[in-house]
Chains A and B, each alone.
Chain A
Amino acid sequence: MYRSRRARSIENLIKTIEKLSIDPVYDTNWSDMSDDIKLKCIGKLEFKERLSLRCTAKEERSLVDSQKIKFNRGRFWGDEEDLGFQLYCDNKKMFSKCLEDINDGFELMKYIKKIGVFENLVISFENSLTNHEQFMTDDGLFTAKTVEFEHGDVDNVIAVLRKLKNTVESIEIDSEITTSDEFAKLLAISNIRNVPYWHIQDYEQTDSLHKVAQMWIHTKAKVGSTFQVSVNKNSSFHEFWEHFIDRIVSKTDKRVRIRTNDPDHHILLERGFDEVVEIGEYLTQYFRLMVITAEMNESEYNDDCKEWILKLDPEIYDEYDSDNSFDNLDDFYHEE
């Protein structure tokens, strides 16, 4: 009995050894991968996992930080108490965080700024960014194709514009730009001077059109450069043609076309109004300013201004539609 148990043990041991010699012993791990392979794997990680990986060790942090990640939309928001982030990939929210510790928030922002390549970036800060040393002293730049500013003052807008790569194609400002001085500060920013499209919603002065045109004449802006503005005062159009009275090529109640110093380029100002958007002393006015080729014929002008007005005020036609629905309701009752 004793001998047979021992024999069985020996048999088992032999089997185990045989098995060990057949199955290779693996001891390869993440640390055995070259940086090139690690970077390929990091490229497949989602944002949350990248954040975790960069907390494991210094070496991993520097690798993770060297790898860009594409977001189709990012929203950075903040007030006196919190700092928040929402990041979207393929139109799906992939990361959302609200941090009460502002310092942690700016640290996270620094990382996102470093690795994020944004299709659309929305900046919405109610409090002043300029008071935060962490933000102001960070040299990193945002990479974004389009930028939208919600809320905040001109100093916030300028602080972010200064931290934006000059590859930006569109800047939309829905912040409080109230005075001519603030507008002048914006015009001094290189991204504003070079961006193909920018707009301001609800500017409170009437000097924006001629100032932008003057800047474009000075900077020899490219054909296609566009500025749009909605204004709640009445004399922007008038101020523009009066300012450029010596340069006027043509003028109607809807358009003014002026010469620039380049014989091949003209600047066209259009006033947006139609059966919905009307011109009136107390109504918001919509303008579009564009650099065009001098050869452009008047027959090539597009009279449909709805599309570009919607960029400035996406809800204006909704209001009209709802007005109409009331009209229809009246009709309905009349018919009854």
Chain B
Amino acid sequence: MSSTEQGTSSAAPAEPTTAPESAAAPEVPESFYYVHGKDKVVHKVSAGALQHSALIHGMISNLGYTEEQAKANPFPFENIDGDILQMVVDWCNQHKGKPTPPEDTNLPKQKEKLFDLVLAVNYLEIKELLTYCCKQVAMMVKGKSPEEIREIWMIPTDAEDEAAEKEAKKRAGKEAAGETAAAAGDAK
């Protein structure tokens, strides 16, 4: 089920999932939502933690799901790897309702994982985490020469870029020619 379908599936007001623990000090029970990534592993996340993500917060703000409805309709993020989504969920839980510290040392140091995390965080619009991630990306090349940066970030040279562009054009031309030939064959 897509998130759009979920968004239009219910507009019912949120119902409490558990009874208040104390009658003297009634607390509004926390509502939970469910998300999964490419690996289909479902993560239960509180609405408070999800507030970090502008994208999800916008999706759930007027949803009013009951616990059961939320459980039955997890938000699918098929473009995010399971372990990356796990990292994002962990970060949101850790920083739920807290001011975000100026540094976050728990971010992955491996470049590919970090770049995947950057893409996920950018997609989910988690501003503070994106700032940390970008700082971490910048730290990867601190004090490095152009050649070292090219190696670490796998930046193609201008010549490689041009060759790839040429190749893509050639392929597109061939495909277009093939399509024209096929269309002419059909017409006959």
A residues with a Cβ closer than 8 A to B are 24, 26-34, 36-37, 40-46, 48-49, 52-53, 55-60
Contacts and interface: CB of A to CB of B under 8 A. Distances in A.
Contacts of B137: 41, 44
Given A27-B112, A57-B161, 9 more contacts: A28-B115, A31-B155, A37-B119, A42-B138, A46-B138, A46-B142, A49-B138, A49-B143, A57-B156
User: Chain B interface mostly helix, strand, loop or mixed?
Assistant: helix
Q: 4 nearest interchain CB pairs?
A: A26-B112, A30-B153, A44-B138, A55-B146
Nearest to B161: A57
Interface in B35-87: 81-83
Interface of B: 81-83, 110-113, 115-116, 118-119, 122, 130-131, 134-135, 137-138, 141-146, 148-150, 153-158, 161
Most buried by B among A32, A42, A43, A56: A56
Nearest to B115: A28
Given A24-B83, A49-B142, A31 B154 contact: yes
Contacts of A55: 146
Nearest to A45: B138
A48 B158 CA distance: 21
Nearest to A59: B161
A334 B82 CA distance: 87
A23 to B, nearest CB: 9
A65 to B, nearest CB: 15
A123 B53 CA distance: 47
Given A24-B81, A28-B116, A29-B112, A52 B144 contact: yes
A36 B123 CA distance: 12
B149 A53 contact: yes
B111 A29 contact: yes
B133 to A, nearest CB: 8
Given A37-B118, A44-B138, A56-B149, A30 B143 contact: no
Nearest to B145: A52
Contact of B154 (A29, A34, A48, A59): A29
A58 B144 contact: no
Given A33-B119, A49-B142, A53-B146, A41 B155 contact: no
Contacts of A60: 155
Contacts of B161: 57-59
B134 A41 contact: yes
B130 A26 contact: no
Nearest to B112: A26
Contacts of A56: 146, 149-150, 155, 157
